[in-house]
Amino acid sequence: MGVKWGPGEVVFRCNLVAVKDGKMWSYASGHITTEESRQLIAALQKKLGSDALQFYPGVSYRHLCKIKGHEDALKATCTPPHDIPNQPVADYLPTGPGNEFLLDIMERSREVLSDHPVNVARRERGQIPATQAWLFWGTGQMPEMPSFKQLHGFDAVMTSGVDLLKGLAVMSGIGVLEIPGVSDGPDNDYAAQATGALKSLENADLAVIHVEAPDEAGHSGSVEEKVKAIVMVDQEIAARLRAWHPGTLRVLALPDHSTPIRVQTHVAEPVPFLLWGPGIKALGGSGYSEALAKASGIYIDKGHTLLGRLIGGW
């Protein structure tokens, strides 16, 4: 997002959430639009912002909060709101050293947002309002890390609809593709994302296509939306990769984690992966699913090593 910070400053993920009857109603405020949320973040900045506290608008419900002079806040234990759907929020508020300042911000945000015109309009339309800011993981400072090219000798680019992935790209020296229509939800333009990534290979050696929609559907507990997102990835992205200059493209496909509908949050289970293209030996797989991956008996303990197999072959 281009946010700069220095000594004595720390950054938190700051989501706009909806709490109702003391429970986490929606971790995404009903997937509030970026335009609406920017107005709410601007209101938080106007009412609560100071030399010690700054709010920065991001995409949809995801934003940043920069805190100065309260480095102890890094020691607080915070909970991602998408981990506690329909749970009493009192059980998951920040705890431990530095939590007082965070709790104060979250409490005061409720007063700022309660009667904001954006929320009034959302209620009138029958949509979920953003009732407060929620501060949680993602805290810290910029780490020292080598660039992707230093590590692998290749120029790489990435397309994503979320700032988290774009931030990882920036930190590792990977170029960020700004492709119109790419978003974090079901309205994502999958075809444009695939076409833009493939076009970038005219100059780059490797392109990363990140699609957020299946994860969002998992967090929302929507089987229909999750299936639709996976079908769109298959039809609009995988099909284009398969058809692009046959015999010249090597592909690695996998989710970064599982978000099962039954729990609506991330779980620490192995994910299926697919390697395909020249230099990759076929191992007899008949499809792509968790069950078939498990049945193959192939298990890669350290996920980041898959990149070496993509580059060097299997």
Q: What is the DSSP string of the chain?
A: ------TTEEEEEEEEEEEETTEEEETTTTT--HHHHHHHHHHHHHHH-BTTEEEEEEETTEEEEEEES-GGGGGSB---GGG-TTSBGGGSS-BSTTHHHHHHHHHHHHHHHTT-HHHHHHHHTTPPP--EEEEEEEEE-PPP---HHHHHS--EEEE-SSHHHHHHHHHTTPEEP--TT--SSTT--HHHHHHHHHHHTTT-SEEEE---HHHHHHHHT-HHHHHHHHHHIIIIIIHHHHHSSTTS--EEE--SSB--TTTTS-B------EEESTT---------SHHHHHHHT---SSGGGHHHHHHH--
Predicted local confidence at residue 140, as pLDDT? 66
92 and 154: one domain? no
37 and 86: one domain? yes
Residue type, 119: N
The tokens for 87 are 């749970």
Is the residue at 57 inside a domain?
Answer: yes
- Residue 275 in this model has a pLDDT that exceeds 80: yes
Please state the rounded mean pLDDT for residues 57-75.
Answer: 89
- Residue 283 in this model has a pLDDT that exceeds 90: no
Mean pLDDT of the residues in the chain: 92
Please state the rounded mean pLDDT for residues 144-169.
Answer: 92
Range of the domain at 221: 148-312
Predicted local confidence at residue 138, as pLDDT? 66
Identify the CATH number of the domain in which residue 230 sits: 3.40.720.10
Predicted local confidence at residue 2, as pLDDT? 84
271 and 305: one domain? yes
- Residue 98 in this model has a pLDDT that exceeds 90: no
121 and 261: one domain? no
Count of structural domains within the chain: 2
| Domain termination site, one of 114, 140, 166 | 140
Reported as a single tens digit per residue, the pLDDT across 9-42 is: 888 999 999 999 999 999 999 999 999 999 999 9
- At 113, give phi and psi (nearest 5°): -90, -20
Is the residue at 46 inside a domain?
Answer: yes
Q: Over pLDDT 70: what percentage of the chain?
A: 98
153 and 32: one domain? no
Predicted structure pTM score: 0.81
